[in-house]
Chain A
Amino acid sequence: MATFAQTGNRVRPAQAGWSLAQAFRARPGLWSLLSFALLCGVWEIAGLWPISYAFPTFSETLLAFWEMVFDGSMLQAYFITLQPLVLGVLVSALLGVALGIVMGLSEKAEWLLAPVFIVLQAAPMAALVPLVTFIYGIGLTAKTLAVIMLALPVIVLNSYKAVRHVSPSLVAMCRSFQGTRMQRIFKIVIPDASPVIFAGLRLGVAAGFIGVMLAELLITPTGVGDLITYHRSIANYAHMYAAVASIIALSMLTLVGLQRFETRFLRPEKRGA
Chain B
Amino acid sequence: MQSMLKAARSAAGAALFGATLFLGSTALAQAEMRVAFGDIPSVETLHLLIAFERAKEAGLELEVSYLKSEDIAAQAVVSGQADVGVGGPYALIQKVKAPVRMFMQLSTLQMYPVVNGESYKTWKDLDGEEVAVHSRGSGTEALMKLAAQQNGIAFSGISYVPGSEVRAGALLQGNVKASIVDASGKRLLEKQAPGKFVFLPVDNITATDEALFANTEYLEANKEDVAKLVEAIVSTWREVQANPKIVGELRTKYNLLPDATPDMVAEIEPYFAEAAAAGLPLNGGGEEAAKDDFAFYTVSGALQGEATELKTEDFWDFTPLKAALAKLGQS
A residues engaging B (CB < 8 A)?
A: 52-54, 138, 220-222, 226, 229-230, 232-237
> Which of B95, B135, B160, B161 has a CB less than 8 Å from the CB of A235?
B95
B61 to chain A, nearest CB (A): 27
Say whether B161 contacts A236, CB under 8 Å: no
CA distance A52 to B98 in the complex (A): 10
Say whether A221 contacts B92, CB under 8 Å: no
A139 to chain B, nearest CB (A): 10
CA distance A237 to B74 in the complex (A): 14
> Which of A229, A234, A237 has a CB less than 8 Å from the CB of B301?
A234
4 more A-B contacts (CB under 8 A) besides A220-B161, A233-B138?
A53-B96, A226-B160, A229-B135, A236-B95
Say whether B162 contacts A233, CB under 8 Å: no
Query: Is B187 close to A, CB under 8 A?
Result: no
- Take A233-B91, A233-B137, A235-B91 as given contacts and tell me if A52 and B79 are in contact as well, using a CB distance cutoff of 8 Å: yes
CA distance A230 to B97 in the complex (A): 19
Determine the residue in chain A with the shortest Cβ distance to B175.
A137
CA distance A230 to B138 in the complex (A): 9
CA distance A229 to B138 in the complex (A): 11
Say whether A220 contacts B301, CB under 8 Å: no
For chain B, residues 61 to 99, give those with C-beta under 8 angstroms from any C-beta of chain A: 71, 75, 78-79, 89, 91-92, 94-98
Say whether A230 contacts B96, CB under 8 Å: no
CA distance A138 to B170 in the complex (A): 11
Say whether B136 contacts A226, CB under 8 Å: yes
Say whether B302 contacts A237, CB under 8 Å: no
Say whether B135 contacts A221, CB under 8 Å: yes
- A220 to chain B: which residues have CB within 8 Å? 160-162
Say whether A52 contacts B137, CB under 8 Å: no
Say whether A230 contacts B135, CB under 8 Å: yes
Determine the residue in chain A with the shortest Cβ distance to B93.
A235
Say whether B137 contacts A234, CB under 8 Å: yes
Say whether A235 contacts B136, CB under 8 Å: no
- B302 to chain A: which residues have CB within 8 Å? 233-234
Say whether A237 contacts B137, CB under 8 Å: no
- Take A53-B96, A220-B161, A220-B162 as given contacts and tell me if A233 and B75 are in contact as well, using a CB distance cutoff of 8 Å: no
CA distance A226 to B158 in the complex (A): 14
Determine the residue in chain A with the shortest Cβ distance to B72.
A232
B82 to chain A, nearest CB (A): 14
* Contacts A/B (CB < 8 Å), 7 sampled: A54-B75, A54-B92, A54-B96, A226-B136, A230-B135, A230-B136, A235-B91
B293 to chain A, nearest CB (A): 14
- Take A230-B136, A233-B137, A233-B138 as given contacts and tell me if A221 and B79 are in contact as well, using a CB distance cutoff of 8 Å: no
- B301 to chain A: which residues have CB within 8 Å? 234
B171 to chain A, nearest CB (A): 14
CA distance A45 to B95 in the complex (A): 20
CA distance A221 to B71 in the complex (A): 15
Determine the residue in chain B with the shortest Cβ distance to A139.
B175
- B79 to chain A: which residues have CB within 8 Å? 52
- B138 to chain A: which residues have CB within 8 Å? 233
- A237 to chain B: which residues have CB within 8 Å? 95-96
A255 to chain B, nearest CB (A): 30
A-contact 0/1 string along B93-131, CB 8 Å cutoff: 011111000000000000000000000000000000000
Say whether A221 contacts B96, CB under 8 Å: no
Say whether B137 contacts A138, CB under 8 Å: no
Say whether A138 contacts B96, CB under 8 Å: no
CA distance A233 to B71 in the complex (A): 7
CA distance A237 to B161 in the complex (A): 23
Say whether B91 contacts A53, CB under 8 Å: no
- B135 to chain A: which residues have CB within 8 Å? 221, 229-230, 233
B6 to chain A, nearest CB (A): 35
B80 to chain A, nearest CB (A): 11
A245 to chain B, nearest CB (A): 18
CA distance A234 to B303 in the complex (A): 8
- B98 to chain A: which residues have CB within 8 Å? 53
Interface centre among B94, B96, B98, B166, by most A CB within 10 Å? B96
CA distance A54 to B74 in the complex (A): 10
- B160 to chain A: which residues have CB within 8 Å? 220-222, 226
Q: Return the 8 tightest CB-CB contacts between A and B, nearest first.
A: A235-B91, A235-B95, A234-B91, A230-B136, A53-B96, A235-B92, A53-B98, A234-B137
A229 to chain B, nearest CB (A): 7
